[in-house]
A and B are shown apart, each in its own frame.
Chain A
Amino acid sequence: MTRYLFRRLFLMAFVFLALSLLAFSLGYLFPGDVAQNLSGLRQIDESQRQQLINYYQLDQNILQQYLAFLSRIAHGDWGLSFASQQPLLQEIKLLLPATLELACYALLLSFVVGIPLGIVAAFKPDSIVGKSISGLAMVGYSLPIFWWGLLLIMFFSLALGWLPSAGRIGVLYEIPHSSGFMLVDIMQADISYRSEALYSALLHLLLPTIVLATFPTTVMIRFVREAMLNVWEQNYIKTARAKGLNRGQVLYRHGLRNALLPVIRQIGLQFSTLITLAMLTEVIFSWPGIGRWLIDSIYQRNYPAIQAGLLVISTMVITINMLTEILHAFFNPLARRG
């Protein structure tokens, strides 16, 4: 395990090195002035430019510039946003929790719904239940998520008027910002309208969570179903059957454990998909998270923001991927090889 961990950490370090190189080069790849792209200042006069050149070591060789970049990132100086002229790191800190909140609930939902449905579908693959679950999974797998979100809004918000169409909470509820996670903030806030605010926040969460969870849920169903069917073919299952255990017992004692182990790895893989899909979901539901912010930044040609957004999102995705890989290896010694 130690050797495995060591190897993983080395790989991670390498990946982050490559990522930092990519992010660093973006400042030069983007159209426009490098000093502007790096600092985020909209207008730069001559004296300022000289200062910036010194600060970013633009007159030095490229290695120096890269090292300067790394030290800036480490010290939390990520430059300003073109659009708001506010420090980027500060903006991201405000937005990231909203995205994480949404992604976590959706991930949870996809597991809670996806795993049991996958097991049921694998248990009797040729029954009506099994087939309809597979069919539904196929449909959900093929849905363009932005269209699906629009359909739900059209139906539940516009036609029926049951659910709000946008935002995290009714705007008239003022919730003091502390952690950035809406539900946590509401519980912590000293306000007289806590239960009403909570109710409003949950209503706002409902549609985006469902939309965001759709794709991972179907992936989960398909994955679990296939894993179960695979396990079913293994000799140890046949042995267990031969020993006289019935289907349910075999499933419970041997099948589940072996089939669900790879699911741990799915957390990591699903998470990166979720973050991308969250960008679309946030746009559809005007959810004030980092995805919508990144998309807006692209509209605004806000290069410093795109660079910072890429760095944050990729770091998050890679870290979670690595963590789940390690977790998986911890439970499954076979995975430590290779």
Chain B
Amino acid sequence: MNLPNNNFLYLKPVSVLLSILLLAGCQPQLPETARSGLVYCSEGSPESFNPQLVTSGTTIDIISQQLYDRLVDISPDNGDIIPGLATDWQVSADGTRYQFSLRDDVSFHTTRYFSPSRKFNARDVVFTFNRITDPLHPFHLQGGGVYPYFQSVDWAGLVKQVQAIDEHTVVFELQRPDSSFMSNLTTDFAAILSAEYAEQLLAEKQPAQMDRLPVGTGPFRFREYQKDILVRLYRNNDYWRGDTQPEQLVFDIVPNNARRMAKLFTHECDIVSYPRVAELELIAARPDVTVQESTSMNVGFWAFNTQKPPFDQLAVRQALSMAINRAAILQAVYYGKATPAYGILPPTSWAYNDGLPAPVYSPAKAKALLAEAGYPNGFTMDIWAMPVQRLYNPNALKMAELMQADLAQIGVRANIVSYEWNSFRQKLGNFEHDSVLIGWAADNPDPDNFFSPLLSCAARDTGTNRANWCDPLFDDIISQALLTADQQQRRALYLAAQQYLHQQQPLVAIAHSQRFQAISSSVSGVSINPYGGISLQHATRVEP
């Protein structure tokens, strides 16, 4: 940073400090660790350092791609499944037995708290997945025993056992064929943990440390976490894919949008997650910052707690859906950078139902429906709005304010409720809400990713089903679709599922948004996975 010293002099109070600065040397050179280090300004703190335990995109962005690897990955170019820690795999004819051959040259991280004595092998894979499915596993109950993503796709009911055939071969035996099994393995949640580290922690009687001080195989290793301040990672010099660029990677936690942008403009951050859509043009006009746009599969929605009256009545849900002016929301909240959602699945999915009718905006009809349902004078309800900006909803509080005004038209008095992000999600998980503005971003290209984790009965038990909705008919359709390997048949089932959701309205889909990333012009090589977290392995600072 260049110090234009004579301009400072009129600031009388600082002249004392300033003279110290001047004595200390005018233009300090950045040290090596800082010069090749990168700062990513994140919108929230990680909830845990084990991807198995979380669903929030914030956490996934920070930990998954940087610290861990998966057995298989998705090619960002065409969505195909490509090798990760597994070099190749075979599926049995009936689709219930998957055999993976593993790499033999992968090491886990060496950190201040763990030094591996062996390479990655089949035991690590068995440990990783048994932790999720085996209730008696010593680590199963660590972190509450809830594995939200895996439970929402009923992983424990699907995987009969995971077996190490030899040092580098592992076999998954399934109860039934499942067309989304491989896709689920590619998600950021299916990160491979170290069995040796786990044994060490058990011996030390510190099992809780497993999810706090992570050990993975990824391009970066963990250094420190200061709660609500930063996460510091160092380069893993022995990374099996080689050539990780940044020596140091710091996730600076800045929940406030405006502040995150300020840090980008003052060069305190190199990469900023979720720049505000409103300011994209402003950012793009700056020479020192570039904006990356990428398509992403996501949906922002308004979910009702369908177990709570009056939201258990279909007519009420329909009325509320009709009362909100989506066009205004798309303009004011998404600034036109999103497509209106007719249903939960984005149009880019192969199972998209383009026969769904466009949503209606009609306060008059809504009022009539409410009267029919027994609320001619409306009622009072809470709208919970996420405190942070997410891909699928750049400003939930603003959206809530717009909806508050819309709902007032039909006599519904809405209170806006918001908590800090982690408490917000906890309270949502306990279904303390009436309705909530939230959404979902895909973890893999499989259409099931939008149904099972969001609206199945299994997902209700894990709390990711924000509508608190459990409908046997709907569950039937989506589990049928999973049993089917034929894409045409699956598609037909998913079309039916979307039609059914449209009738039942457990949630009101609002928009499918683009994903944006603002990056300092001096940084290149940042890649965004359309189905999940960001990867910073190849990010480099280009000296101007």
Contacts and interface: CB of A to CB of B under 8 A. Distances in A.
B13 A109 contact: yes
B259 A166 contact: yes
A192 B254 contact: no
Interface string B30-43: 11011001010000
Contacts of A172: 30, 33-34, 37, 39, 248, 250
B28 A173 contact: no
Q: Interface size class for chain B?
A: 35 or more
Contacts of B223: 174
A153 interface: yes
B418 to A, nearest CB: 9
B472 interface: no
A86 B7 CA distance: 46
A229 interface: no
B268 A165 contact: yes
A42 B13 contact: no
Interface in A33-56: 42
B13 A300 contact: no
Interface stretch (A21-29, A64-72, A156-164, A319-327): A156-164
Residue of B3, B29, B33, B224 most packed against chain A (CB within 10 A): B33
Contacts of A91: 227
B245 to A, nearest CB: 15
A172 B230 CA distance: 10
Residue of A164, A172, A217, A288 most packed against chain B (CB within 10 A): A172
B229 interface: yes
Given A113-B12, A195-B28, A165 B262 contact: yes
A196 B262 contact: no
Contacts of A195: 24-25, 28
A193 B31 contact: yes
A171 interface: yes
Nearest to B421: A300
Contacts of A213: 13
B250 A171 contact: yes
Interface string A269-304: 000000000000000001010000000100111100
A257 B250 CA distance: 53
Interface in B1-56: 1, 3-4, 7-8, 11-14, 16-17, 20-21, 24-25, 28-31, 33-34, 37, 39
A329 to B, nearest CB: 31
A84 B426 CA distance: 12
Contacts, number: 111
B113 interface: no
B222 to A, nearest CB: 13
A199 interface: yes
Contacts of B259: 165-166, 286
A3 to B, nearest CB: 42
Contacts of A301: 419, 423
Given A83-B422, A286-B254, A192 B31 contact: yes
A232 B376 CA distance: 75
Interface string A182-222: 00000000001101101100110110001001000100000
A262 interface: no
A82 interface: yes
Contacts of A199: 21, 24-25, 28
Contacts of B4: 162
A278 B412 CA distance: 41
B117 interface: no
Nearest to B262: A165
Contacts of A210: 11, 13-14
B176 interface: no
A163 B262 CA distance: 11
A84 B268 contact: no
A113 B13 contact: yes
B211 to A, nearest CB: 12
A165 B261 CA distance: 11
Nearest to A91: B227
A130 interface: no
Nearest to B256: A286
Contacts of A158: 262, 265-266
B28 A166 contact: no
B13 A166 contact: no
A94 B248 CA distance: 24
Given A164-B268, A172-B39, A193-B34, A296 B228 contact: yes
A229 B11 CA distance: 28
B101 to A, nearest CB: 40
A196 B14 contact: no
Given A157-B266, A166-B259, A196-B30, A202 B17 contact: yes
Nearest to B37: A172
Contacts of A157: 262, 266
Nearest to B265: A158
Contacts of B160: none
A167 interface: yes
B33 A161 contact: no
Contacts of B3: 162
A97 interface: no
B460 to A, nearest CB: 18
Interface in B235-281: 248, 250, 252, 254, 256, 259, 262-263, 265-268
Contacts of B21: 199, 202-203
B226 interface: yes
B308 interface: no
B21 to A, nearest CB: 6
Contacts of B420: 83, 296, 299-300
B24 A198 contact: yes
B252 A171 contact: yes
B398 interface: no
A87 interface: no
A199 B31 CA distance: 13
Residue of A82, A112, A153, A286 most packed against chain B (CB within 10 A): A286
A125 interface: no
B312 to A, nearest CB: 26
A170 B17 contact: no
B25 A166 contact: no
Contacts of A174: 33, 223-224, 232, 248
20 contacts: A83-B423, A113-B12, A113-B13, A157-B266, A161-B266, A162-B8, A165-B262, A166-B262, A172-B34, A174-B232, A193-B34, A195-B24, A199-B25, A203-B1, A205-B17, A206-B14, A300-B419, A300-B420, A300-B422, A302-B423
Given A83-B422, A196-B29, A296-B420, 13 more contacts: A83-B423, A113-B12, A153-B262, A161-B267, A165-B262, A166-B259, A172-B30, A172-B34, A172-B39, A172-B248, A173-B31, A198-B24, A202-B20
Ranked nearest first, the 8 interchain pairs of A and B with the lowest CB-CB distance are A193-B31, A172-B34, A196-B28, A172-B37, A300-B420, A171-B250, A300-B423, A165-B262
